[in-house]
Amino acid sequence: MLPSHRPHCSRDGRHAVAGAVARWARWAVPLLIALSTISVIAQPARLSQTGLWQAPGQLADGVHAFAPQHALWSDGASKRRWIRLPRGSRIDARQVDAWRFPVGTELWKEFGHGSAVETRYMRLLPGGRWVFASYRWRADGSDADLVPAAGQARAPLAGAPGGRYDFPSHADCIACHGGARSPVLGFAALQLGPSLPAYMRAGLLRNAPERWLREPPSMPGRSELERAARGYLHANCAHCHHESGVPNPLRLAQNVAAPPGGALPAAEILRRVATRNPYLQMPPLATRQLDPEGLALLRAWLLPPTTQESP
Amino acid sequence: MNPRPSRPATALALALLMLPAATPLPAQAEPQARKPARKVTQAEILRGRYLVSTSGCMDCHTPFKMGPKGAEPDLSRLYSGHPQELKMPEPPALPEGPWLVVSSATNTAWAGPWGVSFTANLTPDPETGLGRWSEADFIATIRTGRHLGRGREILPPMPIPVYSQLKDSDLKAIFAYLQSIPPIRNKVPDPIPAR
């Protein structure tokens, strides 16, 4: 009996184990999936909960303010930006044009029209996934509340151009940050330029060339006008128009170590930058107003003097 | 941010999907793989051809012409979108009432609440079609409803709400097929926003 009984028992045992696993999987797998997505969905409900400040008007320890040399045009909004790295961690600058940020890196960007209207927040999770959030400031300036992932397009907002403001959706964030050389667009070698040595001395970077302490990277160009114009295109276009970006031969991203490149299709660039036709405009999102100063800069550099038109 | 297509426009896109695909895929030379970034099998290309032929792509992306039996797709322009030489006049103003949308006789130009849209050149021409696109670009476009996943929104009547639910393997097969057809140089006009 025993020999025949054993396999029978063993088979029952296997069935029992399989049944238990199946029962466990029925609730555990969906739970695990849900938990893995909560990290994306569950952002703090209020900006104050992200830990930007330790007291009203006082930045928390480890938060560094920064400003890129060349700004993205955001319909005339004023901006402030901050970064915080996890204690003891540093940014890897080995790839000079595509820095790698440590897990737990946080960045904030505040947009103002007279007063603060929005603060955007991004954070790097384990596994290399960035999460994004937008916070809408309360009218009394006491705090800012998380905007739904779908965003709020053309939200009524006093002080914004035309009295309307676009709070970006999660998909909008990814449209610009997701395909860039580094999802962090403004905290980069060429953008920090003269202020880079200070961040190096503060211990925020590793594998950065020592020479940057003496000669920080600068936007390439043969004249101040060219450097400014290339910087403008870099800030406003480079997140898509880089070497491995959109399948369009137009390359507007600048590199630390490379020469600035050849002639650009001036007419096409100006056609797309000088319109807010929503089907043609560049950048294709996050702006509804023309940038008169930026356009004047591009025209001054791209067009021969005899063909320049007034903006 | 660009304005999202209006609800009627989205409804139109969905309604169009409810129509049976009027045009079966014509007999043609067996499509051949080009030089893709990854190895594409002939089975994938044929799967893509099947999906394209059963999803109504031909109806808008190949211009119609008048034949002996009436309107028929102009196969010399297979999947090349709105003909560049066909300059469309202003769309007619529709009277108040339930009519919402008009289309050209070629079925490649559409006017509605979003403005005027022209169907895209899906052939692998590098200058005017999808020749420089990667498989990832194509998937990102269909998934997000944005050009290349990050540009302007794809306009009606393209039924993005439906196609965005295709599996990656189906989208890869469709892209493999579209990359296998003859390239046609045809620069489709830019869309025109509503006034």
**Per-residue pLDDT reduced to its tens digit, A150-172:** 999 999 999 999 999 999 999 99
Which residues in A lie closer than 8 A to residue B151 (C-beta atoms)?
240, 246, 284
pLDDT at A307: 59
User: Per-block average pLDDT, block size 10, for chain B (195 residues)?
Assistant: 42 40 38 62 98 97 96 97 98 94 98 97 98 97 96 97 98 98 98 94
Residue A19: Cβ-neighbour burial (10 angstroms; 0-12, 13-18, 19+): exposed
Average pLDDT over residues A74-95: 98
Q: Inter-chain contact A175–B134, Cβ cutoff 8 Å?
A: no
- Edge-to-edge strands of the sheet including A106-113? A63-66, A78-84, A106-113, A115-124, A130-137, A144-146
Q: Inter-chain contact B152–A179, Cβ cutoff 8 Å?
A: no
| Residue predicted with more confidence, A123 or B23 | A123
Q: At what angle do helices A266-273 and A292-302 cross, to 10 degrees?
A: 170
Half-sphere exposure for A2 (CA within 13 Å, toward CB): 0
Taking the C-alpha atoms of residue A83 and residue A80, their distance in angstroms, rounded to an integer, is 11
B151 CB near a chain A CB, below 8 Å?
yes
Which among B2, B133, B134 has the least Cβ separation from residue A278? Answer: B2
Smallest Cα distance from A237 to chain B, Å: 12
Instruction: Express each pLDDT in A93-105 by its tens digit.
Output: 999 999 999 999 9
ipTM of the complex: 0.80
Largest CA distance in chain A: 105
Which among A175, A240, A277 has the least Cβ separation from residue B193? Answer: A277
**pLDDT band per the 50, 70, 90 thresholds, residue A310:** low
Interface probe, candidates A279, A280, A282, chain B, greatest B C-beta count within 10 A = A279
Average pLDDT over residues A131-137: 97
Q: What is the dihedral of CA A303, A238, A188, A56, to 10 degrees?
A: 100
On the question of pLDDT at A268 being above 60, the answer is: yes
End-to-end CA gap in chain A: 98
The candidate with the shortest Cα–Cα distance to A207, out of A89, A100, A92, is A92
Which among B134, B152, B192 has the least Cβ separation from residue A284? Answer: B152
Q: Inter-chain contact B137–A247, Cβ cutoff 8 Å?
A: yes
- Residues of A near B (Cβ–Cβ under 8 Å) read 151, 153-154, 166, 168, 171-172, 175-176, 178-179, 240, 246-249, 277-281, 284-286, 288
Distance of CA B119 to the CA centre of its chain: 5
Distance of CA A139 to the CA centre of its chain: 26
Percentage of chain B beyond pLDDT 90 is 80
B3 CB near a chain A CB, below 8 Å?
yes
**Are the C-beta atoms of A191 and A69 separated by less than 8 Å?**
yes
Q: Where are the alpha helices (DSSP H) in A91-223?
A: 170-177, 189-192, 196-201, 211-214
Task: Judge if the upstream peptide bond of residue A283 is cis by omega within 30 degrees of 0.
Answer: yes
Q: How far is CA B138 from CA B122, B126, B142, B146, B148, in A?
A: 10, 14, 6, 10, 7
pLDDT at A309: 54
**Are the C-beta atoms of A133 and A142 separated by less than 8 Å?**
no
Beta carbon pairs, A and B, within 8 Å: 59
Q: Inter-chain contact B191–A171, Cβ cutoff 8 Å?
A: no
pLDDT at A57: 86
Taking the C-alpha atoms of residue A44 and residue A106, their distance in angstroms, rounded to an integer, is 13
The candidate with the shortest Cα–Cα distance to B167, out of B143, B150, B144, is B143
In chain B, the residue whose alpha carbon lies closest to the alpha carbon of A272 is: B190
Taking the C-alpha atoms of residue B127 and residue B96, their distance in angstroms, rounded to an integer, is 41
Taking the C-alpha atoms of residue A56 and residue A66, their distance in angstroms, rounded to an integer, is 19
Taking the C-alpha atoms of residue A97 and residue A303, their distance in angstroms, rounded to an integer, is 29
Helix (H, G, I), strand (E, B) or coil at B50: helix
pLDDT at B82: 98
B72 strand-pairing partners: B65
Which among A175, A249, A278 has the least Cβ separation from residue B150? Answer: A175
**pLDDT band per the 50, 70, 90 thresholds, residue A24:** very low
Look-up: residue for tokens 């961690």?
A89
The candidate with the shortest Cα–Cα distance to A206, out of A52, A85, A66, is A85
Smallest Cα distance from B100 to chain A, Å: 21
**Are the C-beta atoms of B128 and B85 separated by less than 8 Å?**
no
Q: Inter-chain contact A279–B146, Cβ cutoff 8 Å?
A: no
Taking the C-alpha atoms of residue A276 and residue A282, their distance in angstroms, rounded to an integer, is 8
On the question of pLDDT at A65 being above 90, the answer is: yes
Instruction: Express each pLDDT in B112-169 by its tens digit.
Output: 999 999 999 999 999 999 999 999 999 999 999 999 999 999 999 999 999 999 999 9
Determine which helix (DSSP H) or strand (DSSP E) holds B103, and give its type and residue range. Answer: strand B102-103
